[in-house]
A and B are shown apart, each in its own frame.
Chain A
Amino acid sequence: MTAPLIAGRAWVFGDNIDTDVLAPGLYMKSPIRELASHCLESVDPRFATGVRPGDIVVGGRNFGMGSSREQAVMALRELGVGAVLARSFAGIFYRNALNLGLLALVCPDADKVAPQASLRLDPATAVLTDTSSGTSIACEPLPPHLLAMVADGGLLAHLEKKMKTGAHR
Protein backbone atom coordinates (compact mmCIF):
# COMPACT_ATOMS: atom_id res chain seq x y z
CA MET A 1 0.00 0.00 0.00
CA THR A 2 1.49 3.33 -1.00
CA ALA A 3 0.71 6.37 1.11
CA PRO A 4 -0.23 9.45 -0.93
CA LEU A 5 1.87 12.62 -0.77
CA ILE A 6 0.83 15.18 1.82
CA ALA A 7 0.79 18.84 0.81
CA GLY A 8 -0.04 21.88 2.90
CA ARG A 9 1.24 24.79 4.92
CA ALA A 10 3.43 24.62 8.00
CA TRP A 11 2.09 25.47 11.45
CA VAL A 12 5.18 25.79 13.57
CA PHE A 13 5.22 25.40 17.36
CA GLY A 14 7.91 25.26 20.02
CA ASP A 15 9.07 22.63 22.51
CA ASN A 16 6.86 20.73 24.97
CA ILE A 17 3.49 21.25 23.28
CA ASP A 18 1.26 19.44 25.78
CA THR A 19 -1.96 17.47 25.52
CA ASP A 20 -3.84 20.04 27.57
CA VAL A 21 -3.32 22.71 24.92
CA LEU A 22 -4.11 20.18 22.16
CA ALA A 23 -7.29 18.94 23.88
CA PRO A 24 -8.24 21.26 26.77
CA GLY A 25 -9.86 19.50 29.75
CA LEU A 26 -12.71 22.01 29.80
CA TYR A 27 -14.01 20.63 26.50
CA MET A 28 -13.21 16.94 26.96
CA LYS A 29 -16.88 16.06 27.43
CA SER A 30 -17.79 17.78 24.18
CA PRO A 31 -18.09 16.19 20.75
CA ILE A 32 -14.77 16.08 18.89
CA ARG A 33 -15.74 18.90 16.50
CA GLU A 34 -16.30 21.27 19.43
CA LEU A 35 -13.14 20.08 21.21
CA ALA A 36 -11.09 20.49 18.02
CA SER A 37 -12.20 24.11 17.68
CA HIS A 38 -10.18 24.81 20.86
CA CYS A 39 -7.12 22.82 19.75
CA LEU A 40 -3.92 24.79 20.49
CA GLU A 41 -5.91 28.00 21.10
CA SER A 42 -3.91 28.96 24.17
CA VAL A 43 -0.67 28.99 22.16
CA ASP A 44 -2.01 30.08 18.74
CA PRO A 45 -5.63 31.28 18.62
CA ARG A 46 -5.53 31.34 14.79
CA PHE A 47 -4.71 27.67 14.41
CA ALA A 48 -8.08 25.92 14.72
CA THR A 49 -9.83 28.31 12.34
CA GLY A 50 -6.92 28.77 9.96
CA VAL A 51 -5.69 25.22 9.48
CA ARG A 52 -6.68 23.51 6.23
CA PRO A 53 -6.77 19.84 5.25
CA GLY A 54 -3.26 18.61 4.49
CA ASP A 55 -1.50 21.25 6.56
CA ILE A 56 1.45 20.02 8.57
CA VAL A 57 2.04 20.69 12.26
CA VAL A 58 5.71 21.14 13.09
CA GLY A 59 6.84 20.94 16.70
CA GLY A 60 10.05 21.11 18.66
CA ARG A 61 11.12 18.68 21.37
CA ASN A 62 8.74 16.44 23.32
CA PHE A 63 5.61 17.15 21.25
CA GLY A 64 2.44 15.83 22.91
CA MET A 65 3.72 15.59 26.47
CA GLY A 66 1.29 14.94 29.29
CA SER A 67 -1.98 13.06 29.23
CA SER A 68 -2.77 9.78 27.46
CA ARG A 69 -5.98 11.34 26.05
CA GLU A 70 -6.32 10.37 22.41
CA GLN A 71 -8.42 13.45 21.81
CA ALA A 72 -5.10 15.28 21.48
CA VAL A 73 -4.59 13.31 18.26
CA MET A 74 -8.25 13.20 17.29
CA ALA A 75 -8.49 17.00 17.41
CA LEU A 76 -5.61 17.36 14.95
CA ARG A 77 -7.11 14.71 12.69
CA GLU A 78 -10.56 16.33 12.92
CA LEU A 79 -9.00 19.59 11.68
CA GLY A 80 -7.52 17.73 8.72
CA VAL A 81 -3.88 17.91 9.76
CA GLY A 82 -1.90 15.76 7.33
CA ALA A 83 1.08 14.98 9.53
CA VAL A 84 2.90 16.04 12.66
CA LEU A 85 6.67 16.46 12.48
CA ALA A 86 8.73 17.14 15.58
CA ARG A 87 12.30 16.95 16.84
CA SER A 88 10.99 14.42 19.37
CA PHE A 89 7.65 13.13 20.64
CA ALA A 90 6.30 12.20 24.06
CA GLY A 91 5.93 8.42 24.12
CA ILE A 92 2.19 8.01 24.66
CA PHE A 93 1.25 10.70 22.13
CA TYR A 94 3.49 9.10 19.51
CA ARG A 95 1.86 5.70 19.92
CA ASN A 96 -1.60 7.29 19.98
CA ALA A 97 -0.92 9.20 16.77
CA LEU A 98 0.11 6.13 14.82
CA ASN A 99 -2.71 4.08 16.38
CA LEU A 100 -5.22 6.65 15.16
CA GLY A 101 -3.73 6.92 11.69
CA LEU A 102 -2.06 10.31 12.10
CA LEU A 103 1.39 10.33 10.54
CA ALA A 104 3.95 11.38 13.16
CA LEU A 105 7.56 11.63 12.05
CA VAL A 106 10.67 12.45 14.03
CA CYS A 107 12.40 15.29 12.24
CA PRO A 108 15.71 16.44 13.79
CA ASP A 109 15.72 19.53 11.53
CA ALA A 110 12.12 20.53 12.28
CA ASP A 111 13.37 23.89 13.55
CA LYS A 112 14.40 24.80 9.99
CA VAL A 113 10.79 24.87 8.80
CA ALA A 114 9.41 28.39 8.45
CA PRO A 115 5.87 29.21 9.64
CA GLN A 116 3.31 29.00 6.83
CA ALA A 117 5.87 27.55 4.40
CA SER A 118 4.34 25.49 1.59
CA LEU A 119 5.35 21.90 2.19
CA ARG A 120 5.18 18.56 0.49
CA LEU A 121 5.83 15.37 2.45
CA ASP A 122 6.38 11.89 1.08
CA PRO A 123 5.29 9.53 3.88
CA ALA A 124 7.25 6.60 2.45
CA THR A 125 10.64 8.34 2.25
CA ALA A 126 9.94 10.92 4.99
CA VAL A 127 11.44 13.62 2.77
CA LEU A 128 9.93 17.05 3.41
CA THR A 129 10.18 19.62 0.62
CA ASP A 130 9.59 23.35 0.81
CA THR A 131 7.80 23.84 -2.51
CA SER A 132 8.64 27.54 -2.83
CA SER A 133 12.38 27.25 -2.21
CA GLY A 134 12.76 23.67 -3.40
CA THR A 135 14.88 22.79 -0.37
CA SER A 136 14.40 19.43 1.30
CA ILE A 137 14.71 18.10 4.83
CA ALA A 138 15.07 14.44 5.70
CA CYS A 139 12.81 13.22 8.49
CA GLU A 140 13.11 9.73 9.94
CA PRO A 141 10.95 7.25 7.99
CA LEU A 142 8.59 4.88 9.76
CA PRO A 143 9.18 1.14 9.45
CA PRO A 144 6.94 -0.31 6.71
CA HIS A 145 4.52 -2.11 9.06
CA LEU A 146 3.76 1.10 10.99
CA LEU A 147 3.47 3.10 7.79
CA ALA A 148 0.98 0.52 6.55
CA MET A 149 -1.01 0.76 9.78
CA VAL A 150 -1.16 4.55 9.45
CA ALA A 151 -2.19 4.27 5.82
CA ASP A 152 -4.95 1.83 6.83
CA GLY A 153 -6.29 4.45 9.23
CA GLY A 154 -4.75 3.14 12.43
CA LEU A 155 -4.76 0.19 14.80
CA LEU A 156 -8.51 -0.40 14.77
CA ALA A 157 -8.59 -0.93 11.02
CA HIS A 158 -5.51 -3.07 11.41
CA LEU A 159 -7.25 -5.23 14.06
CA GLU A 160 -10.35 -5.52 11.87
CA LYS A 161 -8.19 -6.99 9.14
CA LYS A 162 -6.53 -9.37 11.55
CA MET A 163 -9.83 -10.50 13.04
CA LYS A 164 -11.23 -11.28 9.62
CA THR A 165 -8.43 -13.78 9.18
CA GLY A 166 -8.65 -15.03 12.79
CA ALA A 167 -5.02 -14.05 13.34
CA HIS A 168 -5.54 -12.01 16.51
CA ARG A 169 -5.12 -14.91 18.96
Chain B
Amino acid sequence: MPQAMTLAEKLVARAAGTETVRSGEVVTCRVDLAMMHDSGGPRRVAPMLATLGAKVWDPDRVVVISDHYVPAVDAESAGILDLTRKWVKGAGVARFHDMQGICHVVLPERGHLRPGLFVVGGDSHSPTGGAFGAYMFGVGATEMCGVLVTGEIWLRVPETIEIRWRGRLGPGVAAKDMILATCARLGMDGGRYQAVQYTGDVIASLPMQERMTLCNMAAELGAQAGLIAPDDVTKAYLLAAGVPEDAIDIAGWQGDADAAPAERHDFDASALPPMVAAPHSPANSAPAADHAGVAVDQAYIGACTGAKLNDLRMAASVLKGRRVAAGTRLLIAPASTRITAEAAADGTLATLTEAGAILLASGCGACAGYGAGILAEGETCIASTARNFKGRMGASSSKVYLGSPYTVAAAAIAGEIRDPREFLA
Protein backbone atom coordinates (compact mmCIF):
# COMPACT_ATOMS: atom_id res chain seq x y z
CA MET B 1 0.00 0.00 0.00
CA PRO B 2 1.42 3.43 -0.92
CA GLN B 3 2.38 5.78 1.87
CA ALA B 4 -0.40 8.22 2.83
CA MET B 5 0.58 11.81 2.08
CA THR B 6 -0.68 15.24 3.06
CA LEU B 7 -1.54 17.74 0.35
CA ALA B 8 1.77 19.53 1.00
CA GLU B 9 3.72 16.30 0.59
CA LYS B 10 1.91 15.47 -2.63
CA LEU B 11 2.64 18.90 -4.08
CA VAL B 12 6.32 18.72 -3.15
CA ALA B 13 6.69 15.11 -4.32
CA ARG B 14 5.34 15.97 -7.76
CA ALA B 15 7.75 18.91 -8.08
CA ALA B 16 10.63 16.75 -6.83
CA GLY B 17 9.79 14.12 -9.43
CA THR B 18 9.36 11.33 -6.91
CA GLU B 19 6.46 9.10 -5.92
CA THR B 20 6.59 9.92 -2.26
CA VAL B 21 8.33 12.28 0.13
CA ARG B 22 8.36 12.43 3.90
CA SER B 23 8.35 15.55 6.02
CA GLY B 24 11.85 16.48 7.14
CA GLU B 25 13.53 15.10 4.02
CA VAL B 26 15.47 17.65 1.92
CA VAL B 27 14.55 17.56 -1.78
CA THR B 28 15.24 19.58 -4.91
CA CYS B 29 12.14 20.68 -6.80
CA ARG B 30 11.50 21.84 -10.35
CA VAL B 31 9.82 25.23 -10.31
CA ASP B 32 6.66 25.59 -12.41
CA LEU B 33 6.38 29.33 -11.98
CA ALA B 34 8.57 32.09 -10.56
CA MET B 35 6.92 35.38 -9.65
CA MET B 36 8.82 38.60 -8.98
CA HIS B 37 7.83 42.20 -8.29
CA ASP B 38 9.57 45.47 -8.96
CA SER B 39 11.18 45.79 -5.53
CA GLY B 40 12.85 42.39 -5.14
CA GLY B 41 12.77 41.35 -8.81
CA PRO B 42 14.68 42.60 -11.88
CA ARG B 43 16.24 45.47 -9.92
CA ARG B 44 17.99 42.92 -7.70
CA VAL B 45 18.39 39.85 -9.91
CA ALA B 46 19.55 41.59 -13.10
CA PRO B 47 23.00 42.48 -11.69
CA MET B 48 23.37 38.96 -10.29
CA LEU B 49 22.48 37.34 -13.61
CA ALA B 50 24.97 39.69 -15.31
CA THR B 51 27.70 38.68 -12.84
CA LEU B 52 27.01 35.05 -13.66
CA GLY B 53 26.62 35.69 -17.39
CA ALA B 54 23.44 33.63 -17.07
CA LYS B 55 20.05 33.81 -18.75
CA VAL B 56 16.59 32.97 -17.43
CA TRP B 57 16.11 29.22 -17.67
CA ASP B 58 12.60 29.51 -19.08
CA PRO B 59 11.04 32.97 -19.58
CA ASP B 60 7.61 31.35 -20.07
CA ARG B 61 7.73 30.22 -16.45
CA VAL B 62 8.32 33.73 -15.11
CA VAL B 63 5.71 36.33 -14.15
CA VAL B 64 6.75 39.88 -13.28
CA ILE B 65 4.34 42.29 -11.58
CA SER B 66 5.22 45.91 -10.75
CA ASP B 67 3.32 46.80 -7.58
CA HIS B 68 5.65 48.26 -4.94
CA TYR B 69 6.88 51.55 -6.38
CA VAL B 70 3.70 52.36 -8.32
CA PRO B 71 2.97 54.89 -9.52
CA ALA B 72 6.42 56.47 -9.52
CA VAL B 73 6.74 59.45 -7.19
CA ASP B 74 10.42 60.33 -7.53
CA ALA B 75 13.50 59.62 -9.61
CA GLU B 76 14.32 56.42 -7.70
CA SER B 77 10.90 54.82 -8.06
CA ALA B 78 10.63 55.89 -11.71
CA GLY B 79 14.03 54.34 -12.33
CA ILE B 80 13.08 51.06 -10.67
CA LEU B 81 9.89 50.76 -12.77
CA ASP B 82 11.79 51.64 -15.94
CA LEU B 83 14.47 49.07 -15.20
CA THR B 84 11.74 46.46 -14.63
CA ARG B 85 10.07 47.17 -17.99
CA LYS B 86 13.35 47.01 -19.86
CA TRP B 87 14.49 43.82 -18.15
CA VAL B 88 11.24 42.02 -18.90
CA LYS B 89 11.59 42.92 -22.59
CA GLY B 90 15.21 41.84 -22.76
CA ALA B 91 14.61 38.58 -20.92
CA GLY B 92 11.63 37.67 -23.09
CA VAL B 93 9.17 37.50 -20.19
CA ALA B 94 5.72 37.85 -21.75
CA ARG B 95 3.72 37.60 -18.54
CA PHE B 96 4.32 41.12 -17.24
CA HIS B 97 1.71 43.16 -15.37
CA ASP B 98 2.80 46.75 -15.01
CA MET B 99 0.82 48.75 -12.44
CA GLN B 100 -2.20 46.46 -12.69
CA GLY B 101 -2.34 45.65 -9.01
CA ILE B 102 -0.64 43.71 -6.24
CA CYS B 103 1.19 40.56 -7.29
CA HIS B 104 -0.58 38.10 -4.96
CA VAL B 105 -3.97 39.25 -6.22
CA VAL B 106 -3.05 39.74 -9.89
CA LEU B 107 -1.40 36.31 -10.16
CA PRO B 108 -4.62 34.28 -9.70
CA GLU B 109 -6.85 36.98 -11.18
CA ARG B 110 -5.00 36.69 -14.51
CA GLY B 111 -5.14 32.90 -14.49
CA HIS B 112 -1.51 32.12 -13.67
CA LEU B 113 -2.28 29.75 -10.77
CA ARG B 114 -3.95 26.36 -10.57
CA PRO B 115 -3.94 23.38 -8.23
CA GLY B 116 -0.77 21.28 -8.28
CA LEU B 117 1.71 24.00 -9.30
CA PHE B 118 4.99 24.50 -7.45
CA VAL B 119 5.60 28.25 -7.34
CA VAL B 120 8.19 30.54 -5.81
CA GLY B 121 7.48 34.21 -5.26
CA GLY B 122 9.91 37.00 -4.47
CA ASP B 123 7.73 38.22 -1.64
CA SER B 124 6.89 36.96 1.84
CA HIS B 125 3.14 36.94 1.24
CA SER B 126 3.56 34.32 -1.47
CA PRO B 127 1.67 31.72 0.63
CA THR B 128 -1.44 33.46 -0.74
CA GLY B 129 -1.17 31.18 -3.79
CA GLY B 130 -1.83 28.17 -1.57
CA ALA B 131 -5.49 29.17 -1.51
CA PHE B 132 -5.64 27.66 -5.02
CA GLY B 133 -4.03 24.35 -4.08
CA ALA B 134 -0.60 25.37 -5.37
CA TYR B 135 2.55 25.06 -3.22
CA MET B 136 3.77 28.65 -3.19
CA PHE B 137 6.32 30.25 -0.91
CA GLY B 138 8.44 33.37 -0.61
CA VAL B 139 12.17 33.65 -1.27
CA GLY B 140 14.76 36.42 -1.29
CA ALA B 141 16.32 37.84 -4.44
CA THR B 142 19.50 35.76 -4.36
CA GLU B 143 17.52 32.57 -4.04
CA MET B 144 15.27 33.81 -6.85
CA CYS B 145 18.38 34.29 -8.96
CA GLY B 146 19.26 30.67 -8.28
CA VAL B 147 15.80 29.65 -9.50
CA LEU B 148 16.10 31.81 -12.61
CA VAL B 149 19.40 30.17 -13.51
CA THR B 150 18.60 26.55 -12.68
CA GLY B 151 14.79 26.27 -12.60
CA GLU B 152 15.22 24.48 -9.28
CA ILE B 153 15.14 25.08 -5.55
CA TRP B 154 15.76 22.90 -2.50
CA LEU B 155 13.48 22.69 0.47
CA ARG B 156 12.86 20.60 3.51
CA VAL B 157 9.58 18.72 3.00
CA PRO B 158 7.23 20.47 5.41
CA GLU B 159 5.13 19.00 8.14
CA THR B 160 1.48 19.97 7.97
CA ILE B 161 -0.06 22.09 10.71
CA GLU B 162 -3.82 21.82 10.38
CA ILE B 163 -5.94 24.81 11.36
CA ARG B 164 -9.51 23.54 11.51
CA TRP B 165 -12.40 25.99 11.62
CA ARG B 166 -15.82 24.68 12.46
CA GLY B 167 -19.17 26.38 13.07
CA ARG B 168 -20.41 29.45 11.27
CA LEU B 169 -19.11 33.01 10.99
CA GLY B 170 -21.51 35.62 12.31
CA PRO B 171 -22.45 38.82 10.46
CA GLY B 172 -19.61 41.35 10.39
CA VAL B 173 -16.99 38.67 11.01
CA ALA B 174 -14.55 37.74 8.25
CA ALA B 175 -11.49 35.70 7.31
CA LYS B 176 -9.31 38.50 8.66
CA ASP B 177 -10.78 37.97 12.12
CA MET B 178 -10.13 34.23 11.78
CA ILE B 179 -6.48 34.70 10.96
CA LEU B 180 -5.92 37.33 13.67
CA ALA B 181 -7.38 34.88 16.19
CA THR B 182 -5.08 32.19 14.80
CA CYS B 183 -2.04 34.48 15.13
CA ALA B 184 -3.02 35.23 18.72
CA ARG B 185 -3.19 31.56 19.63
CA LEU B 186 -0.23 30.19 17.67
CA GLY B 187 2.08 33.22 17.80
CA MET B 188 4.25 34.70 15.06
CA ASP B 189 6.36 31.56 14.81
CA GLY B 190 3.64 28.96 15.40
CA GLY B 191 3.87 27.96 11.74
CA ARG B 192 7.52 26.89 12.29
CA TYR B 193 8.28 27.39 8.56
CA GLN B 194 6.10 24.36 7.85
CA ALA B 195 2.91 24.14 5.78
CA VAL B 196 -0.27 25.41 7.39
CA GLN B 197 -3.44 23.89 5.97
CA TYR B 198 -6.86 25.36 6.68
CA THR B 199 -9.71 22.88 6.89
CA GLY B 200 -13.25 22.58 8.21
CA ASP B 201 -16.76 23.48 7.10
CA VAL B 202 -16.11 27.21 7.52
CA ILE B 203 -13.29 27.08 4.98
CA ALA B 204 -15.48 25.22 2.50
CA SER B 205 -18.08 27.97 2.79
CA LEU B 206 -15.64 30.83 2.11
CA PRO B 207 -15.27 32.51 -1.30
CA MET B 208 -11.78 32.45 -2.85
CA GLN B 209 -10.92 36.01 -1.84
CA GLU B 210 -11.52 35.19 1.81
CA ARG B 211 -9.48 31.99 1.49
CA MET B 212 -6.68 34.12 0.03
CA THR B 213 -6.72 36.29 3.17
CA LEU B 214 -6.15 33.22 5.34
CA CYS B 215 -3.33 31.83 3.20
CA ASN B 216 -1.76 35.29 2.78
CA MET B 217 -1.33 35.65 6.52
CA ALA B 218 0.14 32.18 6.93
CA ALA B 219 3.24 34.38 6.53
CA GLU B 220 2.38 36.01 9.86
CA LEU B 221 2.31 32.55 11.45
CA GLY B 222 5.86 32.03 10.19
CA ALA B 223 4.72 29.21 7.91
CA GLN B 224 6.45 28.46 4.61
CA ALA B 225 3.14 27.82 2.86
CA GLY B 226 -0.57 28.22 3.57
CA LEU B 227 -2.80 25.69 1.88
CA ILE B 228 -6.45 25.05 1.22
CA ALA B 229 -7.44 21.91 -0.69
CA PRO B 230 -9.12 22.94 -3.96
CA ASP B 231 -12.85 22.36 -4.48
CA ASP B 232 -15.67 23.53 -6.74
CA VAL B 233 -15.31 27.09 -5.41
CA THR B 234 -11.67 27.05 -6.55
CA LYS B 235 -12.64 25.67 -9.92
CA ALA B 236 -15.34 28.27 -10.52
CA TYR B 237 -12.87 31.09 -9.73
CA LEU B 238 -10.19 29.69 -12.02
CA LEU B 239 -12.61 29.13 -14.90
CA ALA B 240 -13.72 32.75 -14.59
CA ALA B 241 -10.03 33.77 -14.61
CA GLY B 242 -9.58 32.02 -17.94
CA VAL B 243 -7.83 28.82 -16.83
CA PRO B 244 -8.81 25.99 -19.21
CA GLU B 245 -11.04 23.38 -17.58
CA ASP B 246 -8.72 20.49 -18.45
CA ALA B 247 -5.90 22.24 -16.57
CA ILE B 248 -7.87 22.27 -13.31
CA ASP B 249 -7.41 19.04 -11.35
CA ILE B 250 -9.39 19.12 -8.12
CA ALA B 251 -9.55 15.42 -7.19
CA GLY B 252 -5.80 14.88 -7.63
CA TRP B 253 -4.80 17.57 -5.14
CA GLN B 254 -6.39 16.42 -1.91
CA GLY B 255 -4.48 15.13 1.08
CA ASP B 256 -4.98 11.45 1.85
CA ALA B 257 -7.59 10.89 4.55
CA ASP B 258 -5.20 8.78 6.60
CA ALA B 259 -2.26 11.22 6.40
CA ALA B 260 -2.25 12.76 9.86
CA PRO B 261 -1.04 16.34 10.34
CA ALA B 262 1.85 17.00 12.74
CA GLU B 263 -0.42 19.32 14.72
CA ARG B 264 -4.07 20.21 14.64
CA HIS B 265 -5.63 23.33 16.13
CA ASP B 266 -9.40 23.63 16.40
CA PHE B 267 -11.26 26.92 16.26
CA ASP B 268 -14.94 27.73 16.66
CA ALA B 269 -16.15 30.31 14.12
CA SER B 270 -19.54 30.69 15.80
CA ALA B 271 -17.91 32.19 18.89
CA LEU B 272 -15.54 34.48 16.98
CA PRO B 273 -16.05 38.25 17.37
CA PRO B 274 -14.45 40.90 15.15
CA MET B 275 -10.76 41.00 16.11
CA VAL B 276 -8.20 43.78 16.28
CA ALA B 277 -4.42 43.41 16.50
CA ALA B 278 -2.82 46.12 18.61
CA PRO B 279 0.66 47.50 17.87
CA HIS B 280 3.16 46.06 17.01
CA SER B 281 2.25 42.49 16.15
CA PRO B 282 -0.57 40.60 14.41
CA ALA B 283 -0.33 38.11 17.29
CA ASN B 284 -1.31 40.91 19.67
CA SER B 285 -4.97 40.35 18.79
CA ALA B 286 -8.09 40.60 20.93
CA PRO B 287 -11.80 41.24 20.33
CA ALA B 288 -12.35 44.64 18.67
CA ALA B 289 -14.56 45.62 21.60
CA ASP B 290 -11.50 45.45 23.89
CA HIS B 291 -9.95 48.34 21.91
CA ALA B 292 -13.17 50.37 21.60
CA GLY B 293 -12.47 54.07 21.98
CA VAL B 294 -8.93 54.13 20.58
CA ALA B 295 -8.90 57.25 18.37
CA VAL B 296 -7.59 56.85 14.83
CA ASP B 297 -6.07 59.47 12.53
CA GLN B 298 -6.13 57.23 9.49
CA ALA B 299 -8.11 54.21 8.34
CA TYR B 300 -6.47 52.30 5.49
CA ILE B 301 -8.08 49.65 3.31
CA GLY B 302 -5.37 48.27 1.08
CA ALA B 303 -2.72 45.63 0.41
CA CYS B 304 -2.82 42.07 -0.87
CA THR B 305 -4.46 41.09 2.41
CA GLY B 306 -7.34 43.51 2.61
CA ALA B 307 -8.41 45.29 -0.59
CA LYS B 308 -9.92 42.61 -2.81
CA LEU B 309 -13.43 43.09 -4.17
CA ASN B 310 -14.93 41.21 -1.21
CA ASP B 311 -13.01 43.46 1.15
CA LEU B 312 -14.28 46.63 -0.55
CA ARG B 313 -17.82 45.28 -0.36
CA MET B 314 -17.44 44.61 3.37
CA ALA B 315 -16.30 48.19 3.87
CA ALA B 316 -19.15 49.48 1.72
CA SER B 317 -21.73 47.58 3.78
CA VAL B 318 -20.61 49.56 6.83
CA LEU B 319 -20.08 52.89 5.05
CA LYS B 320 -23.35 52.96 3.11
CA GLY B 321 -25.25 56.13 3.91
CA ARG B 322 -22.66 57.25 6.48
CA ARG B 323 -19.74 59.72 6.52
CA VAL B 324 -16.14 59.40 7.62
CA ALA B 325 -15.67 61.19 10.95
CA ALA B 326 -14.19 64.67 11.02
CA GLY B 327 -10.51 64.45 11.90
CA THR B 328 -10.15 60.95 10.47
CA ARG B 329 -9.13 60.09 6.90
CA LEU B 330 -10.13 56.93 5.07
CA LEU B 331 -7.74 55.84 2.31
CA ILE B 332 -8.66 52.98 -0.01
CA ALA B 333 -6.23 51.40 -2.48
CA PRO B 334 -8.05 48.58 -4.34
CA ALA B 335 -5.73 45.59 -4.75
CA SER B 336 -5.95 45.59 -8.56
CA THR B 337 -7.19 47.71 -11.43
CA ARG B 338 -9.60 44.93 -12.33
CA ILE B 339 -11.08 45.09 -8.83
CA THR B 340 -11.44 48.87 -9.22
CA ALA B 341 -13.37 48.31 -12.45
CA GLU B 342 -15.58 45.65 -10.85
CA ALA B 343 -16.23 47.84 -7.82
CA ALA B 344 -17.13 50.73 -10.14
CA ALA B 345 -19.53 48.52 -12.08
CA ASP B 346 -21.42 47.20 -9.06
CA GLY B 347 -21.71 50.53 -7.25
CA THR B 348 -19.28 49.68 -4.45
CA LEU B 349 -16.87 52.48 -5.35
CA ALA B 350 -19.62 55.10 -5.30
CA THR B 351 -20.66 53.97 -1.82
CA LEU B 352 -17.06 54.33 -0.63
CA THR B 353 -16.44 57.75 -2.14
CA GLU B 354 -19.84 59.10 -1.08
CA ALA B 355 -18.85 58.25 2.48
CA GLY B 356 -15.72 60.38 2.02
CA ALA B 357 -13.12 57.72 1.19
CA ILE B 358 -10.04 58.85 -0.74
CA LEU B 359 -9.15 56.45 -3.55
CA LEU B 360 -5.50 55.61 -4.15
CA ALA B 361 -3.69 53.73 -6.90
CA SER B 362 -3.62 49.93 -6.87
CA GLY B 363 -0.33 48.82 -5.36
CA CYS B 364 1.37 47.90 -2.13
CA GLY B 365 1.08 51.54 -1.11
CA ALA B 366 1.35 52.50 2.51
CA CYS B 367 1.24 48.93 3.85
CA ALA B 368 5.02 48.57 3.81
CA GLY B 369 5.78 52.27 3.98
CA TYR B 370 6.69 52.48 0.30
CA GLY B 371 3.77 54.39 -1.15
CA ALA B 372 1.08 57.01 -0.58
CA GLY B 373 -0.56 57.19 2.82
CA ILE B 374 2.35 56.84 5.24
CA LEU B 375 2.04 57.99 8.83
CA ALA B 376 3.50 60.93 10.72
CA GLU B 377 5.20 60.70 14.13
CA GLY B 378 2.71 59.77 16.81
CA GLU B 379 -0.18 59.03 14.46
CA THR B 380 -2.53 56.07 14.85
CA CYS B 381 -3.88 54.05 11.94
CA ILE B 382 -6.18 51.07 11.63
CA ALA B 383 -5.56 49.02 8.51
CA SER B 384 -6.87 45.97 6.69
CA THR B 385 -3.23 45.02 5.92
CA ALA B 386 -1.22 42.06 7.23
CA ARG B 387 1.49 43.62 9.40
CA ASN B 388 1.69 46.27 12.06
CA PHE B 389 5.37 46.08 12.90
CA LYS B 390 6.93 49.14 14.46
CA GLY B 391 7.53 51.86 11.87
CA ARG B 392 6.32 49.73 8.97
CA MET B 393 3.74 52.25 7.71
CA GLY B 394 5.89 55.32 8.28
CA ALA B 395 7.26 57.12 11.33
CA SER B 396 8.69 54.84 13.99
CA SER B 397 6.46 56.33 16.71
CA SER B 398 3.29 55.72 14.65
CA LYS B 399 0.91 52.99 15.73
CA VAL B 400 -0.94 50.56 13.50
CA TYR B 401 -3.91 48.43 14.52
CA LEU B 402 -5.11 45.66 12.20
CA GLY B 403 -8.69 44.65 11.55
CA SER B 404 -11.09 43.40 8.91
CA PRO B 405 -12.46 45.80 6.29
CA TYR B 406 -15.68 45.95 8.37
CA THR B 407 -13.70 47.02 11.42
CA VAL B 408 -11.55 49.54 9.53
CA ALA B 409 -14.65 51.10 7.95
CA ALA B 410 -16.39 51.28 11.34
CA ALA B 411 -13.38 53.07 12.82
CA ALA B 412 -13.39 55.55 9.94
CA ILE B 413 -17.02 56.47 10.69
CA ALA B 414 -16.64 56.60 14.45
CA GLY B 415 -13.17 58.18 14.46
CA GLU B 416 -12.22 55.47 16.92
CA ILE B 417 -12.08 51.69 17.07
CA ARG B 418 -15.48 50.05 17.54
CA ASP B 419 -17.03 46.64 17.13
CA PRO B 420 -18.27 46.96 13.52
CA ARG B 421 -21.42 45.00 14.25
CA GLU B 422 -22.82 48.22 15.78
CA PHE B 423 -22.99 49.57 12.23
CA LEU B 424 -24.51 46.55 10.51
CA ALA B 425 -28.26 46.60 10.67
Query: Which A residues have a C-beta under 8 Å from some C-beta of B?
Result: 16, 18-21, 24-26, 28-30, 41-43, 61-62, 65-70, 73, 88, 90-92, 94-96, 99-100, 154-156, 159-160, 163, 168-169
Contacts and interface: CB of A to CB of B under 8 A. Distances in A.
A29 B142 contact: no
B178 to A, nearest CB: 20
Contact of B145 (A42, A62, A156): A156
Interface stretch (B244-252, B257-265, B327-335, B385-393): B385-393
Given A26-B369, A90-B222, A42 B39 contact: no
B51 A20 contact: no
B336 interface: no
Contacts of B219: 66
B83 interface: no
Contacts of B391: 20-21, 24, 26, 42
Given A29-B69, A65-B188, A160-B51, A42 B222 contact: no
A133 to B, nearest CB: 30
B387 A20 contact: yes
Contacts of A156: 48, 51-52, 142, 145
B103 to A, nearest CB: 12
Given A20-B390, A29-B76, 18 more contacts: A21-B391, A26-B374, A28-B369, A65-B189, A66-B389, A68-B122, A70-B40, A70-B140, A70-B142, A92-B124, A95-B139, A100-B142, A156-B52, A156-B142, A156-B145, A159-B52, A159-B145, A159-B146
A42 to B, nearest CB: 4
A20 to B, nearest CB: 4
A113 B40 CA distance: 34
Given A66-B387, A100-B142, A160 B368 contact: no
B384 to A, nearest CB: 18
Interface of B: 39-40, 44, 48, 51-54, 69, 74, 76-77, 80, 122-124, 126, 138-143, 145-146, 149-150, 188-189, 193, 219, 222, 224, 281, 368-370, 374, 387, 389-392, 394, 396
A18 B220 CA distance: 11
A66 B69 CA distance: 19
A168 B392 contact: no
A14 to B, nearest CB: 12
Contact of B142 (A20, A41, A154, A163): A154
Nearest to B47: A156
A51 B310 CA distance: 47
B145 A169 contact: no
Contacts of B396: 24, 41-42
A160 to B, nearest CB: 6
A68 B44 CA distance: 13
Contact of A68 (B51, B53, B139): B139
Contacts of B150: 168-169
Contacts of A18: 387, 389-390
B107 to A, nearest CB: 15
Contact of B281 (A16, A91, A163): A16
Contacts of B145: 155-156, 159
A123 B126 CA distance: 32
A61 B52 contact: no
A62 B80 CA distance: 31
Contacts of B387: 18, 20, 66
Given A42-B390, A62-B188, A99 B370 contact: no
Nearest to B368: A25
Q: Tell which of B53, B140, B146 has the most Cβ of chain A within 10 Å.
A: B140
Contacts of B143: 95-96, 99, 155
Contacts of B394: 26
Contacts of A41: 396
